[in-house]
């Protein structure tokens, strides 16, 4: 396919040359047409002036008894009359001749222009009405070549006679030939100019394209640091910017993928190592049989942790791939808050935690109850883990501007300021951070963010280290208007 495609330089050269040559040919055609019209008009005026002068001369001859409308028998007298007409030939390069009613020559200033053939009666008839006749040609074979010819009927004698004057068209053809030569030379110069312009434009255009192409090849080979220089014309600069944004996004995705795989490997390796160690200890009698129940309990806990980790990963994959279909409906969000707290009642009592603000009322949200339950469960679960004995977990629900804001706050160490921007990232854990337990998977808060976004809301974390931590998420109070885009995780 490559051999069938034209290069940019050939395309630019062909287009530029075609436009310039077409313009030149049109200009040349117009110039030649106008030149011919100018020559015809100028010769018409000049020959009309000669006709007037020759007619006046004929009248003067008639006054002297020399009738030019009839054959002059006297050779000397005829020569004398013809010499008078010859003055026009020598001074203006105009040949003059007179023919009778049959078209036969009576007088001529020179014989070089006539073939001896009679002037056709049809041509003579055109002048019988008293008007002048003008044409460019051979006068139906009377003249030896192409001439500008003007004719007029003479009314100065007793017979029928017609006066003709003619001048060569050679000057016009020479001018046109010179013009064509100039046009041809100009065309060659234009082709050279088009070649130079196409080479310069090609170099200017293809240089950034070549750099973008080279960067694309590097990107295709796996080098996600490849970037294209943003220069050249506006369109190429915009193209390079788009390419760089795409490369940056791919680099981010590749880094996230590598980090994700590393986190998965680490999260799976830790419990599996523990499980293998305890089981091997039982098999080689390093662990006495009396301790089997204790260590099997730990193995069960680690197995449960693995199961939760795998389930969380499957949940994230399902949510982010768009496989989960949100079953949103209007319902009272206080029901979810109450259900979650009641399900963890034993843990709350064991931790001597005081629950505040849980005063069930009626606050309607439009969301999927299962998704909201998962969000509340994850946040409350973290709150219970990190609330010290005799601490407080506080709930608040506020309706504002078409959204319902649910806040869950607990006392305790809170989250370090440097960790706040990262608490919703996958596998991010930091020992001092609330909800970032080293025993957890680091996926719970990320799942909360995905679920809240999928429900059409937002979630944020706030904390005062050493005192409290608060998670607030929003949900729409009413169904979205028709045509509103579906939220993406």
Most confident of 20-24, 140-144, 392-396: 392-396
Q: How many residues does the chain have?
A: 489
Reduced to 3 states (helix: H, G, I; strand: E, B; else coil), residue 365 is strand
What is the mean predicted confidence (pLDDT) over 205-233?
81
* % of the chain beyond a pLDDT of 90: 18
- pLDDT at position 354 is 94
- Give residue-wise pLDDT tens across range 421-475: 888 876 665 543 433 344 455 677 888 888 898 888 999 999 998 899 999 999 9
| Distance of alpha carbon 231 from alpha carbon 60, whole angstroms | 86
Residue from 413, 425, 365, 404 nearest 395 by CA: 404
Confidence band for 248, pLDDT divided at 50, 70 and 90: confident
Q: Does domain 2-173 have CATH number 3.40.50.2300?
A: no
Mean pLDDT within 6-31: 78
Q: Which residue has the higher pLDDT, 433 or 187?
A: 187
pLDDT score for 418: 86
- 329-476: CATH topology is Heat Shock Protein 90 (3.30.565)
- Name the E strands within 280-381: 329-332, 354-356, 364-367
Residue 395, pLDDT score = 95
Residue 88 pLDDT greater than 90, yes or no = no
Sheet bearing 354-356, strands edge to edge: 354-356, 392-400, 403-411, 468-476, 459-464
- The β-bridge partners of 165 are 96, 150
**Rounded to the nearest 5°, which phi and psi values hold at 485?**
-60, 145
pLDDT, tens digit, 9 for 90 and up, residues 33-43: 888 888 888 88
pLDDT at 323: 67
C-alpha 263/C-alpha 46 separation (Å) is 102
By the 8 A CB rule, do 106 and 161 touch?
A: yes
Residue 219 has pLDDT above 90, yes or no: no
Answer yes or no: same fold for 2-173 and 329-476: no
Segment 105-130, tens digit of pLDDT: 888 888 788 888 999 998 998 888 88
**Confidence check: pLDDT of 82 > 60:** yes
Take residue 140 and report the two structure tokens written for it. 């139906």
330 pLDDT tier (thresholds 50, 70, 90): very high
Q: Is residue 60 within 8 Å of 67, Cβ to Cβ?
A: no
The CA distances from residue 14 to 26, 189, 205, 351, in Å, are 18, 15, 16, 84
pLDDT tier, 266 (very low <50, low <70, confident <90, very high otherwise): low
Cβ(340)–Cβ(380) below 8 Å? yes
What is the mean predicted confidence (pLDDT) over 311-321? 69
C-alpha dist (Å) from residue 399 to 302, 330, 479 = 42, 14, 15
What is the chain's alpha carbon radius of gyration, rounded to the nearest angstrom?
A: 53
Q: Which residue has the tokens 């009698």?
A: 285
- Per the CB < 8 A criterion, the answer to whether 450 and 489 are in contact is yes
Domain limits, the chain: 2-173, 234-320, 329-476
Reference 151, options 177, 130, 174; nearest CA is 130
Q: Determine the pLDDT at residue 444.
A: 77
Statement: residue 420 has pLDDT above 90: no
234-320 CATH: 1.10.287.130
Burial of residue 293 (CB within 10 Å: 0-12, 13-18, 19+) is exposed
């Amino acid at each position: 396919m490559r051999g069938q495609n034209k290069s940019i330089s050939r395309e630019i050269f062909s287009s530029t040359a075609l436009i310039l040559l077409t313009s030149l040919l049109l200009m040349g055609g117009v110039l030649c047409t106008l030149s011919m019209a100018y020559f015809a008009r100028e010769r018409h005026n000049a020959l009309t002036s000669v006709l007037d002068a020759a007619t006046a001369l004929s009248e003067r001859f008639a006054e002297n008894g020399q009738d030019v409308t009839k054959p002059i028998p006297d050779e000397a007298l005829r020569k004398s009359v013809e010499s008078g007409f010859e003055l026009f030939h020598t001074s203006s390069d105009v040949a003059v001749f007179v023919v009778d009613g049959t078209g036969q020559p009576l007088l001529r200033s020179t014989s070089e222009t006539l073939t001896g053939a009679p002037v056709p009666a049809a041509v003579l008839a055109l002048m019988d009405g008293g008007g002048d006749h003008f044409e460019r040609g051979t006068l139906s074979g009377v003249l030896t070549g192409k001439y500008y010819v003007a004719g007029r009927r003479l009314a100065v004698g007793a017979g029928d006679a017609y006066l003709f004057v003619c001048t060569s068209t050679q000057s016009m053809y020479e001018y046109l030939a010179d013009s064509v030569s100039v046009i041809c030379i100009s065309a060659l110069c234009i082709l050279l100019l088009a070649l130079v312009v196409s080479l310069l434009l090609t170099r200017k255009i293809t240089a950034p394209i070549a750099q973008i192409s080279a960067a694309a090849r590097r990107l295709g080979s796996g080098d996600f640091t490849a970037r294209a220089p943003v220069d050249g014309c506006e369109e190429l600069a915009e193209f390079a910017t788009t390419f760089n944004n795409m490369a940056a996004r791919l680099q981010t995705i590749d880094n996230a993928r590598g980090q994700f795989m590393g986190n998965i490997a680490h999260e799976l390796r830790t419990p599996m190592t523990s499980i293998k160690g305890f089981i091997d200890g039982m098999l080689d009698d390093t662990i006495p049989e009396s301790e089997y129940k204790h260590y099997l309990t730990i193995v069960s806990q680690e197995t449960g942790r693995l199961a939760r980790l795998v389930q969380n990963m499957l949940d994230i994959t399902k949510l982010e791939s768009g496989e989960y279909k949100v079953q949103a409906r209007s319902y009272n969000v206080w029901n979810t808050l109450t259900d979650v707290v009641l399900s963890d009642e034993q843990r709350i009592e064991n931790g001597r935690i005081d629950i505040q603000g849980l005063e069930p009322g009626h606050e309607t949200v439009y969301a999927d109850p299962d998704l909201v339950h998962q969000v509340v469960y994850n946040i409350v679960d973290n709150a219970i883990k990190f609330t010290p004995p005799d601490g407080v977990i506080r709930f608040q629900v506020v309706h504002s501007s078409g959204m319902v804001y649910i806040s869950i706050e607990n006392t305790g160490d809170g989250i370090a300021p440097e960790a706040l921007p990262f608490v919703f990232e996958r596998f991010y854990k930091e020992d001092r951070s609330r909800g970032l337990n080293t025993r957890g998977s680091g996926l719970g808060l990320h799942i909360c963010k995905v679920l809240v976004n999928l429900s059409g809301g937002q979630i944020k974390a706030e904390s005062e280290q050493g005192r409290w931590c608060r998670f607030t998420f929003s949900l729409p109070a009413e169904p979205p208007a028709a045509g509103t885009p579906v939220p993406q995780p």
